[in-house]
Amino acid sequence: MSDFDFISVNTIDEALDVLARPQKVTVLSGGTDVMLRIHDGRLEPSLLLDVSRIEELKGIKEKDGFIEIGAATTINEIGASELIKDNAYALYEAADVFADPNTRNRATIGGNITNASPGADGAPALFALDGEVLIKKKGGERRIPVTDYIIGSYKTVLEPDELVASIRFKPCKNSAFIKIGLRKAMAISVETVAVALFLDENKIITDCRVAFGALGPSTLRARNTEKVFVGYTPNEETFAKAQEVIAMDIKPRDGLRGSREYRFSTAHVIMERALIKAYEK
């Protein structure tokens, strides 16, 4: 481990001032990924900026018809929120199976999407919920869909002087998340799926979003597959059709945790199960 400086700030403005410096700054939120990357030598920071004490970055609230989560809100806070449980069940379930209780007490939702690990458990739920990321920098801000925010394995569009402030999404009453891990806790995902459905009064699907995690270099939306269900219900026919088009959306890879073959053959299985779970909620 090399020497580095450490700055802890209490406000977003202070953080943005530090980020505006010419020096390379690594933002530390919960630290559950940053510390590992330092440990195994993938990251050699020169300045760590601790944002975990910024109260403005914490909390879950309803605002302008959206659910808004501060970027430094921990996974356990999300898992304990009735607002999330009622309006974003997929995210609630993801929080429930995320690593272990100790990690969930530290890890934050902003850190989860910004680290952009292919196996991030928070990201697929936010992809399915059509989350939007609020990004701030000194003298400005922008809001972009989370699906545009993560662009690859450990890659986002975040500029060096920017900070993720919050994530928001529209409430969804029918969503679900399923994870396959190699043990029942503290498991990095072999694959995950999140489904968000909107139904009309006849329980016909009007909007369907399916996101997969850990299948490829980054979290992805299965845009061809999800279209199959719009105007229908989850049933044998739509499942069969989905299975035909799913190959257009997913290109699983071989890895330490699972083979390409395994990931491909189980992706539609957990998607079907998540669709049924979300539909029947």
Partner 1 sequence: MPIYGDGNKTEKGYTYINRFFPRVDARDKVTGRAKYAGDLDFPGMLIGGALFSPYAHAQVTYINVDKARQIPGVHCVMTFEDLKKEKSWGYYTFMSSRLRYQGDVSAIVAAEDWESLQKALKSIEIEYKELPAVFTPEEALKPGAPLVHENDPECEGNIWSHSRYKVRKGDVDAAFETCDHILERVYRTDPVEHAYMETEAAVAVPDTTASGIMTVYAGCVNPFFTRRWVADVLGVSRAKIRVVQQTVGGSFGGKEELMGLTASRAALLASATGRPVKMVMTREESIIASTKRHPFTIKYKLGTNNEGKIQAFQAEVIENVGAFHMHEFMNFRAAVHAAGVYEIPNVKVDVYGVFTNTVTAGAMRGYSSPQLIFGSEQLYEEMAEELGMDYMEFKRLNMLKQGGTNACGQVMDAPIILPEILDKLFDKTDFENKRKAYLNQSDTLKRKGIGMAMFYRGCGLGAEAPDASAGSVVVHDDGTVMINSGLVENGQGMKTAFTQIVAETLSIPPDVIHFIGVDTNTIPDSGITAASRTTVMGSQSVKLAAEELKGYLLETAAMMFHATPEAVELKDGMFKLIGVPDAVIPFQVVANVHHWTGQQAGVMRWFKPPHLDYDMKEGFGKAFPTYAYGSVIAEVEVDMQTGEINVEKITCGHDLGTVINNKTVIGQIYGGVLMGQGYAIMEKLLIKDGIIRTDNFDTYMIGTSMDVPEIDAVLFESDDAAGTYGAKSVGEPSTEGVAAAIISAITNATGIRIRRIPINKVDMLSILHHSNDDTVEGGQARLKSRTDL
Nearer residue to partner 1 within complex by CB, 2 or 202:
2
Nearer residue to partner 1 within complex by CB, 171 or 255:
255
> What gap in Å lies between CA 184 and CA 227, rounded to an integer?
32
Nearer residue to partner 1 within complex by CB, 44 or 200:
44
β 205-213/162-169 pair status? unpaired
> What gap in Å lies between CA 234 and CA 268, rounded to an integer?
12
Q: Answer yes or no: are the C-beta atoms of 27 and 49 closer than 8 Å.
A: yes
Distance of closest approach, residue 103 Cβ to partner 1, in angstroms: 11
Distance of closest approach, residue 110 Cβ to partner 1, in angstroms: 22
Task: State the residues that interact with partner 1 by CB under 8 A.
Answer: 1, 3, 100, 180, 182-188, 190, 256-259, 261-262, 265-266, 269-270
Q: Which two tokens stand for residue 204?
A: 């016909």
Distance of closest approach, residue 17 Cβ to partner 1, in angstroms: 30
Distance of closest approach, residue 212 Cβ to partner 1, in angstroms: 14
Q: Which residue has the tokens 């029947």?
A: 280
Distance of closest approach, residue 127 Cβ to partner 1, in angstroms: 22
Nearer residue to partner 1 within complex by CB, 12 or 188:
188
Distance of closest approach, residue 194 Cβ to partner 1, in angstroms: 17
> What gap in Å lies between CA 143 and CA 2, rounded to an integer?
35
Nearer residue to partner 1 within complex by CB, 71 or 176:
176
Nearer residue to partner 1 within complex by CB, 154 or 262:
262
Q: Which two tokens stand for residue 199?
A: 């139904």
Sheet holding 60-63, edge to edge: 60-63, 66-70, 162-169, 132-137, 140-145
Q: By CB neighbour count within 10 A (0-12 exposed, 13-18 middle, 19+ buried), where does 264 fall? A: middle
Q: Which two tokens stand for residue 160?
A: 């060096």
> What gap in Å lies between CA 89 and CA 281, rounded to an integer?
9
Q: Which two tokens stand for residue 103?
A: 């990690």
Nearer residue to partner 1 within complex by CB, 26 or 103:
103
Distance of closest approach, residue 181 Cβ to partner 1, in angstroms: 9
